[in-house]
């Protein structure tokens, strides 16, 4: 099955996308951060990025956006050619019918440009899950059913929902072009779900401690052609920090790494803090050890080394499709990072 995958980075130009979590910077108003997300999307379009996808978080002070589909709609209206979407809409919080209707509407208004990224993470801590689900903790047991339903609604096929909802359709019908649908995850079950439902798979490399391709190989080998896509498409999600010299790139990564550390500890990530403050907070030996483990998940590079590192990762996973997360404290550095990154592979 490998030869069917979007995998030949030697023969194809690298496809680079941006994962934007709308990270809040300590001292900055969230409204300013959301404006930065719009500006980043316009910058990404200028740089010829493939797409920009927005994440969903609830009750988390460190991230400004809770509705990626709304932010995507705004950005689609303010750009011309770049693909824009969600990374992702968290299915445990919503009905398949609502998600599909929203996706069809955006795909109809912006044909060929809306990307529907879906995931099963809660997008927040327990209280936000309760608030989103009318005081009932959601389960992941219906995720596969929801995925099947979404594919059916997008394809105007009621066979998967006939027994429950009869001939109910999700409008607008008869899309000229279905949206891309990506399933987000890093585990074996996520790989199997994407493969079983014939969806593209975005693998969250930045969430794992070691580079391994067991789960991505499961996806490729078990992929079943579906109504959305006939061949497997694999994307690798990376966290990256680039600067003029390695020491500065490493230091810039501290703020992002500290948010990752908070998440690993089961805390809601707080706004990005200056690297100096990060150093103060991780002064204890046990904190330093844990922090260094998280830091290893971030690609640290200079403009003249980042291209090679990205190429090595693409070759390892046998794909030419990468999506980049860059949550550094300094906005100018963040925007410059994406320029350095895309210039390195052109």
| pLDDT tens digit sequence for 249-264 | 999 999 999 999 999 9
| pLDDT of res. 7 | 44
Residue 64, pLDDT > 70, answer yes
| pLDDT of res. 156 | 95
14-30 as b/e: b if 16+ CB within 10 A: bbbbbbbbbbbbeeeee
Residue 98, pLDDT > 90, answer yes
pLDDT bracket for residue 1 (50, 70, 90): very low
**Which range is least confidently modeled, 5-9, 30-34, 220-224?**
5-9
335-345 as b/e: b if 16+ CB within 10 A: bbbbebbbebb
The third-level CATH classification (topology) of the domain covering 2-247+298-344 is: TIM Barrel (3.20.20)
Query: Domain extents for the chain?
Result: 2-247+298-344
Residue 2, pLDDT > 50, answer no
Alpha helices in 227-303 (DSSP H): 246-264, 275-281, 285-295
293-310 pLDDT per residue, tens: 999 999 999 999 999 999
Residue 5, pLDDT > 70, answer no
| pLDDT of res. 209 | 73
Residue 13, pLDDT > 90, answer no
Distance CA 267, CA 128 (A): 13
pLDDT bracket for residue 9 (50, 70, 90): very low
- Contact of 58 with 25, CB cutoff 8 Å: no
| pLDDT of res. 285 | 87
Section 280-290 average pLDDT: 91
Section 68-81 average pLDDT: 98
For residue 138, the number of C-alpha atoms closer than 13 Å in the C-beta half-sphere is 24
186-224 pLDDT per residue, tens: 999 999 999 999 999 999 999 887 788 999 999 999 999
Close Cβ partners of 115 (under 8 Å, ≥ 6 residues apart): 51, 53, 83, 84, 85, 86, 179, 180, 182
177-195 pLDDT per residue, tens: 999 999 999 999 999 999 9
Section 317-323 average pLDDT: 97
Least Cα distance to 49 among 16, 87, 88, 3 occurs for 16
| pLDDT of res. 4 | 45
Residue 10, pLDDT > 80, answer no
From its phi and psi, is residue 262 left (phi > 0), alpha (psi between -120 and 50) or beta? alpha
| pLDDT of res. 180 | 96
| pLDDT of res. 23 | 97
| pLDDT of res. 8 | 41
**Which range is least confidently modeled, 41-50, 138-147, 170-179, 229-238?**
138-147
Residue 340, pLDDT > 50, answer yes
CA dihedral 246, 62, 261, 311 (to 10 degrees): -40
| Percentage of the chain lying above the pLDDT 90 cut | 85
- Contact of 150 with 120, CB cutoff 8 Å: no
The mean pLDDT of the chain is: 93
| pLDDT of res. 135 | 83
Section 157-162 average pLDDT: 93
pLDDT bracket for residue 126 (50, 70, 90): confident
| pLDDT of res. 208 | 84
How many Cβ atoms from other residues are within 10 Å of residue 154's Cβ? 22
Residue 172, pLDDT > 80, answer yes
Strands (E), 45-175: 51-54, 83-86, 89-90, 114-119
Tell if the pTM clears 0.85, that is, is over it: yes
Distance CA 30, CA 52 (A): 19
Task: Decide which of 78 and 140 is more confident.
Answer: 78
């Amino acid at each position: 099955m490998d030869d069917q995958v979007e995998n030949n980075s030697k023969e194809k130009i690298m496809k680079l996308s941006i994962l934007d979590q709308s990270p809040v910077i300590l001292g900055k108003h969230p409204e300013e951060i959301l404006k930065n997300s719009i500006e980043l999307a316009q910058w990404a379009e200028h740089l010829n990025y493939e797409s920009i996808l927005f994440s969903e978080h609830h009750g988390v002070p460190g991230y400004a956006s809770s509705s990626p589909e709304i932010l995507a709609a705004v950005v689609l209206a303010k750009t011309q050619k770049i693909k824009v979407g969600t990374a992702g809409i968290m299915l445990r919080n919503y009905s398949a019918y609502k998600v599909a209707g929203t996706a069809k509407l955006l795909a109809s208004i912006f044909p060929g440009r809306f990307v529907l990224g879906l995931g099963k993470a809660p997008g927040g801590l327990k209280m936000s899950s309760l608030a989103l689900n009318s005081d009932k903790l959601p389960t992941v047991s219906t995720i596969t059913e929801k995925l099947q339903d979404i594919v059916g609604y997008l394809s105007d096929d009621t066979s998967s929902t006939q027994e429950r909802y009869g001939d109910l359709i999700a409008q607008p019908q008869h899309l000229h072009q279905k949206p891309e649908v990506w399933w987000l995850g890093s585990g074996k079950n996520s790989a199997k779900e994407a493969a079983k439902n014939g969806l593209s798979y975005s693998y969250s490399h930045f969430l794992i401690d070691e580079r391994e391709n067991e789960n991505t190989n499961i996806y490729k080998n078990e992929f079943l052609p579906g109504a959305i896509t006939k061949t497997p498409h694999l994307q690798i999600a990376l966290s990256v920090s680039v600067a003029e010299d390695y020491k500065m790139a490493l230091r810039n990564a501290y703020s992002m790494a500290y948010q990752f550390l908070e998440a690993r500890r089961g805390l809601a990530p707080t706004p990005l803090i200056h690297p100096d403050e990060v150093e103060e907070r991780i002064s204890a030996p046990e904190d330093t050890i844990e922090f260094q483990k998280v830091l290893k998940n971030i690609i640290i590079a200079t403009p003249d080394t980042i291209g090679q590192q990205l190429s090595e990762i693409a070759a390892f996973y046998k794909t030419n499709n990468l999506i980049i997360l860059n949550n550094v404290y300094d906005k100018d550095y963040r925007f410059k990072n994406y320029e350095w990154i895309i210039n390195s592979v052109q």
